[in-house]
Homo-oligomer: A and B are copies of this chain.
């Protein structure tokens, strides 16, 4: 295991994108969001994805000179056309738009079409927090790993949701979850680390547990709560994909297997301006109280603490800001190969 600082990681990602002919300002935005993912502990959605993004750029699967624009507009709602840009750029644009619109209308809902994989859901849900807004983000996942309940055809993705809610003295609540028991990124991380995965994450085509992540292609993920998780993945896909004129279901391109085809990824972001609902500081104090009451609950045998969503990620962030972001050896080798192929300076690791 090697370690890297957030700053050096962002610089490395930026260098690679610039070497792959991404415009400098765009490279900077994506590099900051990707290293933000890593420092927050979203190991399956940060620099881990860089070789894949670069591969897609080389295969002309990404538009490096996009015209990201507003295709539909009613003020409080809009649909952004990402023009096949890097997903982080599209969602960065859409989220800023949602924040602006919510300050005028109290709420805004911005859907996105012609986007791409944009990293962890929490990145975008958290952006409205800076304006005392609540953020809600939903995405169509970039590969189908989930069949309908009772089926074996992978017609659905893990379609995640993230919700970020500010507090006063406590840290914000940040829920970021796949509608499957485990996100596929976690399976990929386990595979890369040579670890097995717990029973309950995946089953094979006969319905038997699958615990060897290197056989992930022979099975599929399980939804949370059985038919309920399937239902959530389905409606999230219709709202983030179909409603925006983006891909969902059979039309989803597996971006792990295909680095060329236009993915037409769909996402949406909702921003809610708290001051339009009532007093902001009263709301935040009430959130503090809710958080503290959860934490103070008596505990089940075997549990020594109760957390609220976002707490583990924040602890990871604090630790990584101090000691650096861990980079497993296999990933380190991949990133070295990448910098050689791009003829750019390698990742500067911590001593």
When C-beta atoms are compared, the residue in chain B nearest to A236 turns out to be B163
Does chain B have a CB within 8 A of A258?
no
Q: A155: shortest Cβ distance to chain B, in Å?
A: 6
| Contact call B234/A309, Cβ cutoff below 8 A | yes
- With a cutoff of 8 Å between Cβ atoms, the chain B residues found around residue A150 in the complex are 299-300, 303, 305-307
Q: Which of B109, B228, B273, B299 contacts A151 (CB 8 A)?
A: B299
Q: Is the CB of B283 within 8 A of A242?
A: yes
Each complex incorporates copies of this chain amounting to 2
Interface hits, A210-267 → B, CB 8 Å: 224-225, 227-229, 231-232, 234-235, 237-239, 242-245, 248-250
- A158 CB → nearest B CB, Å: 12
A173 within 8 A of B: yes
Name the B residues within 8 Å of A290 (CB-CB): 234, 237-238, 242, 248-249
Q: Which residues of the other chain, B, contact A307 by a CB distance below 8 angstroms?
A: 149-150, 227
Q: Is the interface of A mostly helix, strand, loop or mixed?
A: mixed
A347 interface residue per 8 A CB criterion: no
Pair B294/A148 contact, Cβ less than 8 Å: yes
Smallest CB gap from A71: residue in B: B278
Nearest to A74 among chain B residues (CB) is: B106
A293 touches B249 (CB 8 A): yes
| A207 interface hit (Cβ, 8 Å) | yes
CA of A150 to CA of B286 in the docked complex: distance in angstroms?
Answer: 22
Interface hit among A33-41, A60-68, A75-83, A337-345: A75-83
